[in-house]
Amino acid sequence: MLNGIVQADLVGAIDSLLAEINTAHSLDIERHPAHSPIIAAQDSDKIGYKLHRRSATPERVISLVVDPFSFDMDGQLKQETKRRITSEVLRFWGDECSDRHRFVDAAVPPPPPPVPEVESTHPGLARRRRF
């Protein structure tokens, strides 16, 4: 039991989210069968999952870490956590990404987008300025 939630709920919540993602985006993502259903961190109360696509060759894996407070009292993932995980899964298995592995901490918000650089028209300022 973790934060009042039984282990079966922690597995069921992530399996339910993966089923939603798979149905909506025609993917075949699952918890990696070679790893424990839940991977407990030794130095924190966070829990982890290894995710992969059944049909992918070569194999690519997401190491997903979720804070126990990302679950509601019914053992389901909170909406913000679902959105974050879905976004990361789609980015990883999207067309632009060729990484073999990615670590995703669903409790940490994504970094802000990079600051654009623009040409300065003022003669006394440096050629490029960051806002």
Find the mean pLDDT for residues 115-120. 66
pTM comes to 0.71
**CB contact at 8 A, 24 and 64:** no
Is 103 contained in some domain? Answer: yes
DSSP string for 3-34: TTB-HHHHHHHHHHHHHHHHHHHT--EEE-TT
Residue 82 corresponds to which tokens in the numbers above? 């679902």
Is 128 contained in some domain? Answer: no
Model confidence over 6-44: pLDDT tens digits? 556 778 889 999 999 999 999 999 988 777 777 776 777
Is 20 contained in some domain? Answer: yes
Is 120 contained in some domain? Answer: no
Measured in degrees and rounded to the nearest 5, phi and psi for residue 121 equal -95, -5
Find the mean pLDDT for residues 36-57. 80
Is 92 contained in some domain? Answer: yes
Q: How confident is the model at residue 47 (pLDDT cuts 50, 70, 90)?
A: confident
Is 118 contained in some domain? Answer: no
Report the pLDDT value the prediction gives residue 1, as an integer from 0 to 100. 46
The length of the chain in residues reads 131
Its domain, for residue 44, covers 7-107
pLDDT exceeding 70 applies to what percent of the chain?
A: 77
**CB contact at 8 A, 14 and 80:** no
The span from the CA of 13 to the CA of 131, in Å, is: 41
Name the range with the highest mean pLDDT among 37-41, 115-119, 125-129.
37-41
- Number of independent structural domains in the chain: 1
